[in-house]
Amino acid sequence: MRDQARDGALRLLAAVEDGATLDEAAPLTEGLSPADRARARRLAREVLRRIDRADALLTPFLARRPRPQIMRILRLATVEMLALDEAPHGAVNAAVTLTRALGGKGQAASGMVNAVLRKVAASDQVWAALPPQRLPDWLRKPVSAAWGEAVTRAIEAAHEAGAPLDLTPRGETPGEALPTGSHRLPAGTQVSALPGYAAGDWWVQDAAAAMAVRLLDPKPGERIADLCAAPGGKTLQLAAAGAEVTALDISPSRLGRVAENLARCGLAAELVAGDALDWRPPQPMDAVLLDAPCSATGTIRRHPELPLIRDGAGLAELTELQAHMIDHALSILKPGGRMVYATCSLLPAEGEDQLTAALARHPGLTVLPPQAAGIGPDWTTAQGALRLRPDMWPERGGMDGFFIVCLRKSAEQT
């Protein structure tokens, strides 16, 4: 009988090696039961967080590097035993069975897999001494230049630890109440089984992502544009505050998810499918929220495949697009209006540098110091923006990496 969850995890890992994200690879596990599909994805994520660490442990036990299919099986069993506390006999037997299922070459390699993994099972102290997986150089260099080696290593440790489940409350909400207003539950919590899901009492949103709307501080009746709105957490926040929200996204299918979440929570917003750079409201907006397209490097603890499938190419085009979007957002904002610019990125080029350039391009544009509840003493930059990192709140489970700044347009600007 095939081990459906482990087999699914191996298919996901193979897809990532071919350059796919786990979301893009999800159809590979659609034939599994919901429980096996969830376990397959969890196993794949845990392996992706520790590939370098697993390889460092395995290499001394290998006479030569095995075929990719065999290497994936060895990595999976290693992570199961040494990171996920799987019983060694179960993990080893499952790995041998998966190897034999590969055919003749798998049958020939099964003895090696068994012998290697038995050595791995006895190497827990060596495993514990290995450092967390390093960021790729294209990302590690600017992160280290910005915050130093100690912070960089702490970020890498946070990436390996993964992410808990955060909820933004509207009504009665389960979980630990965080200082910023979000609620937190352990990773792996089944969302749809939680009380209040069907009633729309809360929605899933990382605590760092929720800070963008909290900095904007929407007021009832304000006309606010949420550019690049999907999957909709910020749109829900704005609507729950009583704002008249126009939510734009270039993807109609992703905008459909926003509509579903609004309906579940009993909230309303005008939804517009299209390019935010081409959209102009009938009259200038009171406020604009721009959660701009970015490298998503702040979400690695949720998407551990990103460092493995990206190389930093296209960053110049991304930052140019962000600058155009900032300029456009300001052009649809009324004089004296507020704009929040946010990116889920660890790169200063997509945050601090963008702010410096925007202030230079737009005389009279000012930074509004963050006033939201729960802001840590080390979260605010010298410019008055929020710089959130995965290593912050280590005692609570960290947060996604974000750059967020609230700007006011000059009352004289038109």
Instruction: Tell me: is residue 275 an annotated ligand-binding position.
Output: yes
* 115-153 b/e (C-beta count within 10 Å ≥ 16 → b): ebbeebbebeeebeeeebbebeebbbebbbebbeeeebb
* CA dihedral sign of residues 62, 63, 65, 68: negative
Instruction: Tell me: is residue 281 an annotated ligand-binding position.
Output: no
Cα(206)–Cα(203) distance, integer angstroms: 10
Cα(178)–Cα(185) distance, integer angstroms: 10
Give the containing element (helix H, strand E) for 180: none
Q: What are phi and psi of 8, to 5 degrees?
A: -65, -40
Instruction: Tell me: is residue 307 an annotated ligand-binding position.
Output: no
Cα(271)–Cα(388) distance, integer angstroms: 29
Verify whether residue 265 is a known catalytic residue: no
Give the containing element (helix H, strand E) for 155: helix 149-161
DSSP string for 22-63: HHHHGGGGTTS-HHHHHHHHHHHHHHHTTHHHHHHHHGGG-S
Cα(107)–Cα(130) distance, integer angstroms: 31
Instruction: Tell me: is residue 291 an annotated ligand-binding position.
Output: yes
Q: Which of 265, 294, 344, 406 is catalytic?
A: 344
Instruction: Tell me: is residue 294 an annotated ligand-binding position.
Output: no
Instruction: Tell me: is residue 230 an annotated ligand-binding position.
Output: yes
Residues 6+ away with beta carbon under 8 Å from 394 = 154, 158
Instruction: Tell me: is residue 136 an annotated ligand-binding position.
Output: no
Instruction: Tell me: is residue 231 an annotated ligand-binding position.
Output: yes
For residues 57 and 78, the answer to whether their CB atoms sit within 8 Å is yes
Per the annotation, where are the binding residues for S-adenosyl-L-methionine?
A: 228-234, 249, 275, 291
Per the annotation, where are the binding residues?
A: 228-234, 249, 275, 291
Catalytic residue numbers, as ranges: 344
